[in-house]
Chain A
Amino acid sequence: MKLLIHQYCIYLAILVSFTACKKDFLDAKPSSDILAPATLEELNTLLENVNVTNKTGALAQVSCDDYRIVSDQNFLSLPTATERNAYLWQKEIYEGESSNDWNIPFSQIFYANSVLQVIQEKNLGKLTESNITKGWAYFVRAYALFDLARNFAPSYRLETATTDLGIPLRQSAGVDQIIPRSSLQETFDQILSDLTLAGNLLQTNIPEENRNRPSKVAALAMKARVYLYMGNYTDAERYCDSTLLFHNKLIDYNAISRTSDTPFGYNSDEVIYQSTQIVAYGLSSGVGNPMLSIEVNPDLYRLYASGDLRRTIYFKTNSLGRINMKRGYIGAGIYNFTGLATDEIYLIKAECLARRGASEQSMEVLNGLLIRRFNNKDLYVSLKATSPSEALTLILQERRKELIWRALRWSDLKRLNKEGANITLTRTINNITYTLLPNDPRYVFPIPDQEINYSGIQQNIR
């Protein structure tokens, strides 16, 4: 019996000591591959995911008139129905294919909301370093929302914005909620308020070696882009001025290699915020590689004067003798730059000046940019305009030339046609000519089938 008591005590001792060390044993992290982000450092790694956060849609590039497809055969061999249909501005474009044009910006919003949510749940907002992370998340959300708005919502008109359909505004990371479409006015209010929040929280200067990260300058520059799209030229100019106050660097193209296939790095001086086109539709919208099925719109290419360095820095002749795009401010890769850069800000500034009648000042700004694009062996002949409208025409043409292949042409067409520019696009495939009239509802892309099927939000009428 004594023996028994002894044994019982031993079992008890084993049990007790066992319970004590059990907690650590069961708290061990189960895998090296997985982590639950809980610190600002870990949250920043999510925003560093440039494959998600620093991307914009591709449909706008596929549909625009920067380029043409060389032959019917090349058209037929495009791998996705979406790009074939988008090229011809068909009413229905996806044929059941999913579209990252819609999905990726919403992933960006999800990443941003997740980061903001963890900061709130873990009370990280008290730390001063959290400002940058929060500002970053707000910027990413605004950037994504604007990309969605310019592709999937109609042109902004003050008169109708409160009734026009905008984009679902998601403010939390919870995946169990479906948000209906907001009005276009609400969408733009959200974009601008997120940019204001971001501008107040972020550091002022551009992180020179990490231009995938936003800054106050980026928030200001983005506001200039957004106001321009909205047709609010006063505010657009105001934000150009604020941007240029902090960052006005332009690259002198005389210092850039004319033979390299990769003339610029991704941290180029002009880059204010880095983003590139999503990985999609490479055969119709890719750059850098010899793209044998497409060529730069010959009418557009003709506009580059002989002393214009962009003829060799932007373009390259492929083995078929046709003009292809080289890479812009992206370093390597085949999907071009769509981010914010100083040249765009100067062009917005010039345009706004011309629109308010300051034609002389506007030409000064434009020439300040162009002199860095022309070969300095020859004397640069400044462009002159006798009237504000002539200045505007010149500036818009230079805007088109400078900002080719940055996914901006499509939204410019929307904006300019809205103001009466009356630009009609045509394409011919298999001897059929396709026409896109100004202000056609087909300037707004349909929302992908998956979204309509699973959330039931309202489809665009094309």
Chain B
Amino acid sequence: MKKTILYIVLAVLCLIFSAKAQTQPFLLTGQVSDQGGRAIPNASLQIKGEKTTALSNEEGKFFMKSTKPTGILTVSHIGYEAVELDFNGNSLKPFNIILKEDNSQLKEVEIVSTGYQNIPKERATGSFVLIDSALLNRRVSTNILDRLDGVTSGLIFNRNKTPGANDFNIRGRSTILGEDKPLIILDNFPYEGDINAINPNDVKSINILKDAAAASIWGTRAGNGVIVISTYKGNYNTKQKISINTNITIGEKPDLFQAPWFSSSHWIEIEQFLYTKGAYTTVISNGYGAISPAVEIMDQKKMNKISYADSLSRINELKAYDVRNDMLKYLYRSNVNQQYAFNLNGGGNQNRYSVSAGYDNNLYSKTTDSYNRLTLNASNSYRFLNDRIELTAGLLFTNSRSKSNIYNYSPGSPYERLADSEGKPMAVRNQLRLSYIDTAGKGKLLDWQYRPIDENLPETQSGLTSYTINAGLNYLIINGLKASVLYQYQLQTIEQKTAHLKDSFYARNLINRFSSINSTTRSVLRIIPSGDILNDLRTNYQSNNARFQLNYDTYMTEDHQITALGGIEVRDNHSENIAQTLYGYNESIGINANSTIDFTRDNPLYYNPASSERIDPGQSTGYILDHYVSFYFNGAYSFKERYGLSFSIRKDESNLFGVKPNQKGVPLWSAGLLWNISKESFYRAKWLPYLKLRASYGYSGNVSKSISAYLTASSTGPNVYGPVYGRIVNPPNPSLKWERIKVINLGLDFASKKNVISGSIEPYFKYGIDLFGESPLAPQTGVITYKGNSANTVTKGIDVTINTINLNGAIKWNSNILFSYNQDKVTKYLVAAGTNSAVTSAAYNNPIVGNPYFAIYAYKWSALDDKGDPMVIYNGTPSKAYSVISSSLDRNNIRYLGSLVPTKFGNIRNMLSYKDLELSANITYRLGYYFRRISLDNAAIYGTKGFQSEVDYDLRWQKPGDEKNTSVPTLMYPNSAQRTNIYTYSDILVEKADNIKLQDIRFSVQLKNPFKHAISSLQMYVYVNNIGYLWKANSYGLDPDNFRQDITSFSSQKTIALGLKANL
């Protein structure tokens, strides 16, 4: 089948051009450019009185034939004034046509790219979003994807779900267990390396492909949408341009005091209570387990080792400290990011080139953490044989280095001290009791104290080197038909080294743990020899991509235009990793002591010889290999530029595991229609000169590498008897299929006279079919959860984009308004989601038929009873039968409150300019979602880090009658998990997360020709990001996108960037 399609395509194409090849025309060639020397693609060229028309290509170049030696050539393009030129076939030289901008007309034609072809947006039937370089550069960031946030219609960052990460969805989530990330294309081919290896300053534009007509050409991997990143290339016959951009971004120090902590004195009271209750008895009696300084004092007092007065004064001393002051002083700083970018591009008649270099240096707020990156990007194209052949070569090189500290200090008590009054580092408790450490080994062991300030070192250093090499050959077989061969090679190596030097706590602790002291000779026996401990992890990612493609583009007659492309693509992705740990390492002479260690021996622990552990050999290797062979075809037909039809099909075959051969390949297709109403002769609405309708229908797919049709197992390593043992990963599933996403997209594009109002409205429907679902099974099956094609979903949504020109005089004022609505619903899920306890507590995986995938459920709160115990409505009446309520399967006893991710979102961006001054501000809004407020957590308070759980402590029920004024339950010792969970997951703690945020402001001054023409233009800019909320629906002042309230996850910090951009 796959071959047949291709043969037909080839045959048809060959016939078409062979028919044309028989005429002997006069050839007109040339280039269309604007007044600034920039090429104008897609300008339409026509010879007066003849049917022949042509379009200029990406470089503005055109070729066309005339049957007569002389005539008049008309050249036109939307946004430019049309020109007419005489030509004489006997002395034909290439034309150099310069078009003047026509401000009265519609704005410049936007070209969208699918990664396979570039098409004018006005001819596209699918749903595209184009983010051009101006919009990309409005924001200052190290990471390219950050720049899509808040400016891209239909794309949302799930900040409430994973703060600070590149977790975003295009038009919602279309899978349950499959891959949910959009496919990223970098210069023609999928990019699966580290996204940070791409320097945003190298990016010319980003296209987001949202529906099937746009994306299904990417087949099984397009189900989540596609992001096409194009880097800068030079243009032919353009003057050399040099631009320089530099900026510095400064962020606030993190606010540790935002977290709801118990004051030191308050926490000591609670510790006293727990001590009296015997919560620490077991730890204290073993003699070595870590206890807090206050508990140590309480115990010494109880054992009469210190007097009551002594204990009191020592406790009082502790009450005065707050470790967060020390943390801010010694472990944190303001973060500072510096960025430098340089670009040079231009082109002559035969070649075009672009060279850029960038350097970033980021100092993060943790003093140990930093990042720097060097990028080089070069591309060069040559053309010859009358410009029929073009050779392109490109190189993208990135080298980055990041430093961090894996074993971060995490306070054990609020009153811990990191340094004494002279600033000398102090020891805090780690895994062992401080008083035990003081005497352990009687000086024979290595120092066992943990001093966070001394350990605050960038122990982990990670270096990334990435090469992307592109080579391409385009051959214009005949006017309109182009063959191209593209090849891309990517190599990315990451080496992460964690060096625990021999004096580090990590090394000292590990060596001591496995030491023993001979009871007669008093000599120390060490299983791990003294020396550094080095963990080394190398990841090597390589990909080879090759593509052979034929493009066909012509007007068959004046009214009919056909474009078609078809090709074969082969992809080979290979990543491997190797990890090793070297004990007793001496860097200067490069030796280690691993050969002296028996990794299969159970070694007794120094502080508890009855228990023993093995030494982690820290070695692993593995690989992942993806092979794809794909066939694709895309064709479009347009009639009189009024009606358009597009069709696209792709078949992917891969080596993904365990899918039966006949299911390995999945053909996915799409079709689209467009109707340019404003070009109809009956169309009279002068006030709305541009009106277009689009519709598309089709399928894209999604893969999951974690699922197989066969019984699969993974080898885990040797068991204690020696042989390797395996673990069953997947029970057999003979009917496994790949997921499919059906997308229906409608679009209405419009523009009023002079573009005062323009935009688009796009409703869409997405149907997830045969989605992988995980379901709990009866434990008697031997499998607790199971994955299969068990789910369907439906997503309905609309994306609205409106651009307005509000003022267009000396002061210019433009607005951009985006609105997206997206509501998904699980329509089929084979197995019940579990008990109500599982449903309410599931954070982000909650597929229940009839509701969104990311949904929030809660028990129906009733009240506190007269003992301060929480009650919820169960079978219609208030109940305290916690275990019955938790294990109930009757969903009538819980409530569905809504989506956990925004269902309505967008932004309003205003741009004001006056002469050389420009000011823009972006307001983003995220509506229609909920979050679970954290309240008094009985389990956490009596857990190891209870001092971080002060929320609502003062509001808790304390005496009969309190239940009239509060809904916070009384604290119970010991904690009853079910009772705590009933309160934690009840609906009184669910809050609306809706918010409006002033995301950023940018101000710039443009200076033309400063310094007497040494610089052609100079822009100075200030960019302030994460300015703050303008409105939040919740009345607790909580940040709805970061409500976790602990000192490890901060709200997005406000940053201010200052920058300079110069063109030479």
Contact = CB atoms under 8 A, between A and B. Distances in A.
A451 B611 contact: no
B611 A455 contact: no
A112 to B, nearest CB: 9
Nearest to B731: A175
B780 A31 contact: no
B981 to A, nearest CB: 9
Given A22-B629, A25-B627, A49-B719, A173 B608 contact: no
Interface string B653-684: 11111100000100000000000000000000
Given A48-B725, A290-B286, A450 B3 contact: no
A390 interface: no
B488 to A, nearest CB: 18
Interface stretch (A33-41, A194-202, A355-363): A33-41
B721 interface: yes
A32 to B, nearest CB: 4
A11 B10 contact: yes
Interface in A246-296: 261-262, 266-267, 288-290, 292-293
A32 B621 contact: yes
Interface in A3-56: 4, 7-8, 11, 14-15, 18-19, 22, 25-37, 42, 44-46, 48-52
Contacts of A212: 719, 721
Given A174-B731, A293-B282, A457-B778, 6 more contacts: A30-B627, A48-B724, A81-B976, A108-B782, A210-B723, A290-B286
Contact of B282 (A107, A266, A292, A449): A292
A107 B568 CA distance: 46
B629 A96 contact: no
12 contacts: A14-B548, A22-B653, A45-B713, A46-B726, A92-B883, A96-B835, A106-B782, A114-B732, A117-B711, A173-B731, A331-B602, A457-B778
A448 interface: yes
B714 A33 contact: yes
A209 interface: yes
A36 B708 contact: yes
A95 interface: yes
A30 B626 contact: yes
B608 A290 contact: yes
B714 A35 contact: yes
Residues of B in contact with A, size category:
35 or more
B711 A289 contact: no
A453 B835 CA distance: 8
Contacts of B732: 114, 117, 173-174
A76 B780 contact: no
Given A30-B657, A36-B712, A179 B780 contact: yes
Contacts of B708: 34, 36
Interface of B is mostly: mixed
Contacts of A49: 716, 719, 725-727
A106 B612 CA distance: 30
Nearest to A211: B721
B287 interface: yes
B609 interface: yes
B37 interface: no
Contacts of B626: 30
A289 B285 contact: no
Interface string A328-350: 00011010000000000000000
A102 B727 contact: no
B779 A289 contact: no
Nearest to B777: A175
Nearest to B6: A15
A156 interface: no
Contacts of B719: 48-51, 212
Residue in B626, B725, B886, B978 whose Cβ sees the most chain A Cβ within 10 Å: B725
B886 A37 contact: no
A110 B781 contact: yes
A327 to B, nearest CB: 9
Contacts of B729: 34
B477 A7 contact: yes
B711 A109 contact: no
Interface in B411-467: none
Interface of A: 1, 4, 7-8, 11, 14-15, 18-19, 22, 25-37, 42, 44-46, 48-52, 71, 73-74, 76-77, 81, 92, 95-96, 98, 102-103, 106-111, 113-114, 117-118, 168, 170, 173-175, 177-179, 209-212, 261-262, 266-267, 288-290, 292-293, 316, 319-320, 331-332, 334, 448-451, 453-455, 457
B278 interface: yes
B49 interface: no
Contacts of A267: 721
A81 B976 CA distance: 8
A288 B713 contact: no
A111 B477 contact: no
Contact of B625 (A30, A52, A210): A30
B88 interface: no
Contacts of B688: none
A168 B781 CA distance: 10
A31 B724 contact: no
Given A22-B629, A33-B622, A73-B281, A450 B779 contact: yes
Give me the 4 closest cross-chain CB pairs, A-B, nearest first: A110-B782, A73-B278, A455-B778, A45-B726
A74 B722 contact: no
B604 interface: yes
Given A35-B714, A102-B779, A110-B728, A45 B723 contact: yes
Contact of B610 (A35, A111, A210, A261): A261
Given A175-B781, A454-B776, A8 B612 contact: no
Nearest to A110: B782
Contacts of B604: 261
Contacts of B624: 30-32
Interface in B824-846: 831-832, 834-835, 837
Contacts of B285: 292, 319-320
Contacts of B266: none
A106 B777 CA distance: 12
B720 interface: yes
A22 B653 CA distance: 10
Contact of A178 (B712, B776, B778, B832): B778
A256 to B, nearest CB: 17
B610 A15 contact: no
B596 interface: no
A7 B782 CA distance: 59
Contacts of A15: 3, 6, 568
Given A212-B719, A288-B610, A449-B835, A178 B726 contact: no
Contacts of B780: 106, 168, 170, 178-179, 451, 455, 457
Given A27-B655, A49-B725, A175 B786 contact: yes
Given A15-B6, A29-B625, A45-B723, A448 B779 contact: yes
B783 interface: yes
A332 B612 contact: yes
B779 A106 contact: yes
A234 B30 CA distance: 105
A451 B720 CA distance: 32
A301 B477 CA distance: 96
B621 A31 contact: no
A451 B974 CA distance: 28
B811 interface: no
Interface string B777-796: 11111111010000000000
A319 B477 CA distance: 90
Contact of B711 (A48, A108, A173, A320): A173
A357 B714 CA distance: 54
A60 B971 CA distance: 33
A4 B609 CA distance: 83
A325 to B, nearest CB: 11
Residue in A19, A30, A111, A267 whose Cβ sees the most chain B Cβ within 10 Å: A30
Contacts of A332: 602, 612
Contacts of A33: 622, 714-715
